Amino acid sequence: MKKGGHLPSFTLAYETWGKLNPDRSNAVLILSGLSPNAHAASNEKDPSPGWWETMIGPGAPIDTNRFHVIGLNSLGSCKGSTGPASANPETGKPYRLDFPDLCVEDIANSAHMLVTHLGIEQLCTMVGPSMGGMSALAYLQQNPQGARHFLTISSSSNSAPFSIAIRSLQRELIVSDPAWNEGNYDDKHWPVKGMRMARKLGMLSYRSAEEWRTRFGRRKQDYFPTEIFGMNYEVESYLEAAARRFVRSFDPCSYLYLSRAMDWFDIADGYADLPSALAEISLNTACVIGVETDVLFPAYQQKEIADALETWRDNAMASGHPAAVRISSNFSSLYGPQLAGNVTARSSGGSPSSRVTCSTTAWRTSVISDSAE
Amino acid sequence: MKKGGHLPSFTLAYETWGKLNPDRSNAVLILSGLSPNAHAASNEKDPSPGWWETMIGPGAPIDTNRFHVIGLNSLGSCKGSTGPASANPETGKPYRLDFPDLCVEDIANSAHMLVTHLGIEQLCTMVGPSMGGMSALAYLQQNPQGARHFLTISSSSNSAPFSIAIRSLQRELIVSDPAWNEGNYDDKHWPVKGMRMARKLGMLSYRSAEEWRTRFGRRKQDYFPTEIFGMNYEVESYLEAAARRFVRSFDPCSYLYLSRAMDWFDIADGYADLPSALAEISLNTACVIGVETDVLFPAYQQKEIADALETWRDNAMASGHPAAVRISSNFSSLYGPQLAGNVTARSSGGSPSSRVTCSTTAWRTSVISDSAE
């Protein structure tokens, strides 16, 4: 692993939709953000809706009539893939803090091992939202011919100081909970408060103040008992309810490892600059999408990736690669039906007034499909 | 008090600069934000620099050659005025949670009692940044002829849901610290972690992501020992150092009371709308200043106050009051020397590119001074 650690063995949880074609050229790999599992959409084995349900399916933007779609739960997560919550084969107990230091590059490397294991030499399209976009960039850096098309949404080539500060404070909240106990928590002694407050802080950073205003105003709440210094307003009960749902659904140690991996990530480490870091990557098309009001993965970071890939295009063209990179940053919103009538929300806050520069058509035809080549 | 409580007696800490003129018409009252004390600038009794040092003095924007300036520490604070940290005369011990529920309106009412006590019938100018602007609005609502001029900076007529969410989480951080102990902390058992993390969250909300980027980038830190899940980057050590300075300098209970008072504040409570709530206020001039990137006291809230006062102006003119309200929202920044060459920072984050619509000249001549009447 990048920081020198070693896993004797590991499991990756993934789900698939649509058939792999005979020449194994129609695979779409989705590398997810910090918390999602591999269940991006319903399928035969699990008919419950996935976290990107309306995006994936027959006739959907990621059309399972045409593509073999792979949803992967990241290495280090707790949703089926090996992570700090998994049993350490040497002890039979959860790894917790004995899990080796995890980097985004390790997630990328494990994803490539899966793709190779599935007999796929080159992906049709690599898709990465949020942390998944980081993993995708690392994957492509490690495997410059790894995909023909690339779609990244609200991600970054490194962690900006504001996002580091938010995540660092989230981690501090968790490890300051007495029940954290240096990783020795159990079901009865769970860092509930720390996880709950970390989730609230995350939610505050995912959405814009404008959205809160429209959604909640100053309406009072009566869902939870009022506390001496809180729980008066609907915005408070909304955050509390959402945070409570999260607290037990994600392993604290896994959260800490993945969050730290994002802070550490800088794909240009060891390179002169970002264009140099991405220079070897060979893509037919790329699409970079962000939301103008996103504070965790701000629009300027989307532009940095887009600019770097455009630089790559120039280089590539000079050396004869086919290239028709379409770069588009900032689109209306990931919420609701704006994009193709069927993109659902992930997390980044977006105001309805954000500028649209990535059209659905361009994205469908040039990124997801080879037909525009 | 507004919520029905009662203080048998109370003390207010204030400092003054410049001489009160014989007809007591040149007083400028500064109502402060949550954490500042009464020491807004150096003076004979305390030559150390105040929190608004370059703003107040001979020849400064608030010119002590011409004005009698009063800096007040809010009721409920812990910087000399009576608050939850003060001794309860009935028990001799700190009030803590026995302190009555505190509202912004109570702060305003106590400020008016001080002004009356000083023999001042009408202020020349009321100045209120942040929470102080809330107190100032409440003061003027309670005393419609209370001042001839009004300057409010980065404040609001009510707390927006995003600011409620931030403050609610800050309070949750404090009361979740085991050392909080339902208010029974002492010097040896102080909610250090809760206060430290609450301060960090506050600082994250005061400044813009863009400022963090310019200031820190991804520079590593070596000021504090690296921790397993944090303290790698300079932005982290900066926040840690600043938060440590704050932790012992402010009483946790006082912080909770004042923070909650801000959440509760809505000057239009019981009125049809904001213009109605401010309709009785009689001012010669008003100036409303905000910062476009401020998330706690966003620009739209400055505009709401400005619009409401303009409505008042129309009303007032219709009923014959002299009125020349100058409304200006959004100015470059409270940082550095942009405004009159001598305004220093308070808190709200502002990017250098924010639009300037409030000129120094207009402010000096029409707001602080009667000379434009």
- What is the CATH classification number for the domain harbouring B247? 1.10.1740.110
Amino acid A48: pLDDT: 96
Of A202, A209, A200, residue with least CA distance to A237: A200
B371 part of a folded domain: no
B81 part of a folded domain: yes
CB-based contact B204 A166, cutoff 8 Å: yes
Are B58 and B150 within one domain? yes
Amino acid B311: pLDDT: 57
Of A262, A294, A320, which marks where a domain is finished? A262
CB-based contact B218 A161, cutoff 8 Å: yes
Contacting residues of B for A174, CB less than 8 Å apart = 229
Q: Mean pLDDT, to the nearest integer, of A91-96?
A: 96
**Could you give the angle at which helices A252-264 and A161-175 cross, rounded to 10 degrees?**
160
Residues B217-245: pLDDT tens digits? 999 999 999 999 999 999 999 999 999 99
Average pLDDT, chain A: 84
Distance CA B343, CA B154 (A): 14
More confident residue, B129 or B321: B129
pLDDT surpassing 60 at residue A264? yes
Amino acid A339: pLDDT: 29
Residue type, position B361, single letter: T
Nearest by CB to B161, from A162, A193, A213: name it.
Answer: A213
Determine contact: B113 vs chain A, CB below 8 A.
no
CB-based contact B236 A164, cutoff 8 Å: yes
pLDDT surpassing 90 at residue B323? no
Contact A63, A368 (CB under 8 A): yes
Amino acid A108: pLDDT: 98
Distance CA A57, CA A55 (A): 7
Determine contact: A200 vs chain B, CB below 8 A.
yes
Sign (positive or negative) of CA dihedral B312, B317, B321, B324: positive
Alpha helices for chain A (secondary structure H): 104-117, 131-142, 161-175, 192-206, 209-216, 234-247, 252-264, 274-278, 299-318, 360-363
Are B136 and B213 within one domain? no
What's the distance, CA B91 to chain centroid? 31
Are A42 and A155 within one domain? yes
Determine contact: B193 vs chain A, CB below 8 A.
yes
Least confident of B16-25, B66-75, B117-126, B337-346: B337-346
Are A251 and A144 within one domain? no
Are A152 and A24 within one domain? yes
pLDDT band of B16, cuts 50, 70, 90? very high
Please enumerate in sequence order all residues whose Cβ is within 8 A of that of A131, keeping only pairs 6 or more positions apart, or say none: A31, A32, A33, A34, A74, A104, A155, A258, A261, A262
Are B148 and B190 within one domain? no
A254 part of a folded domain: yes
B125 part of a folded domain: yes
A1 part of a folded domain: no
Of B269, B358, B250, residue with least CA distance to B32: B250
Are A258 and A275 within one domain? no
Beta strands, E only, B154-300 = 285-289
Are A146 and A208 within one domain? no
Of A212, A242, A262, which marks where a domain is finished? A262
CA distance B199 to chain A (A): 11
pLDDT surpassing 90 at residue B316? no
Amino acid A318: pLDDT: 35
Residues A141-153: pLDDT tens digits? 999 999 999 998 8
Distance CA B167, CA A230 (A): 9
Are A256 and A204 within one domain? yes
Residue numbers of A between 32 and 91 with CB closer than 8 Å to B: none
B206 part of a folded domain: yes
Do β-strands B68-72 and B14-17 pair in parallel, antiparallel, or remain unpaired?
antiparallel
pLDDT surpassing 50 at residue B152? yes
Q: DSSP of B33-99, one letter per residue?
A: -SS--S--S--SS--S--TTGGGEETTSSEETTT-EEEEEPPTT-SSSS--TTSBPTTTSSB-GGGS
Nearest by CB to B201, from A176, A177, A201: name it.
Answer: A201
pLDDT surpassing 80 at residue A35? yes
Question: What is the total count of domains within chain A?
Answer: 2
Amino acid A208: pLDDT: 77
pLDDT surpassing 60 at residue B320? no
Residues B36-52: pLDDT tens digits? 999 999 999 999 999 99
Amino acid A142: pLDDT: 98
Amino acid B209: pLDDT: 81
A97 part of a folded domain: yes
Are A174 and A289 within one domain? no
Are A74 and A208 within one domain? no
Amino acid B287: pLDDT: 84
Residue numbers of B between 129 and 168 with CB closer than 8 Å to A: 158-166, 168
User: CATH number of the domain that A300 lies in?
Assistant: 3.40.50.1820
What is the SS3 string spanning B315-348? HHHHCCCCCCCCCCCCCCCCCCCCCCCCCCCCCC
For the whole model, what pTM was predicted?
Answer: 0.86
Contacting residues of B for A233, CB less than 8 Å apart = 161, 164, 168, 263
More confident residue, A343 or B183: B183
- Most B CBs within 10 Å, among A98, A171, A172, A173, to test the B interface: A172
Contacting residues of B for A5, CB less than 8 Å apart = none
Average pLDDT, chain B: 84
Amino acid B298: pLDDT: 85
Q: Mean pLDDT, to the nearest integer, of A7-30?
A: 96
Q: What is the residue range of A145's domain?
A: 14-160+265-366
> Phi/psi of residue A207, each to 5°?
-120, 155
Amino acid B350: pLDDT: 31
Of B262, B286, B311, which marks where a domain is finished? B262
CB-count exposure of residue A372 (10 Å: 0-12, 13-18, 19+) = middle
Amino acid A338: pLDDT: 25
pLDDT surpassing 80 at residue A184? yes
Amino acid A311: pLDDT: 57
A248 part of a folded domain: yes
Residues B119-134: pLDDT tens digits? 999 999 999 999 999 9
Are B206 and B130 within one domain? no
pLDDT band of A332, cuts 50, 70, 90? very low
Nearest by CB to A178, from B162, B178, B209: name it.
Answer: B178
Residues B62-113: pLDDT tens digits? 999 999 999 999 999 999 999 999 999 999 999 999 999 999 999 999 999 9
Amino acid B188: pLDDT: 97
Closest residue of chain B to A234, computed from CA coordinates: B161
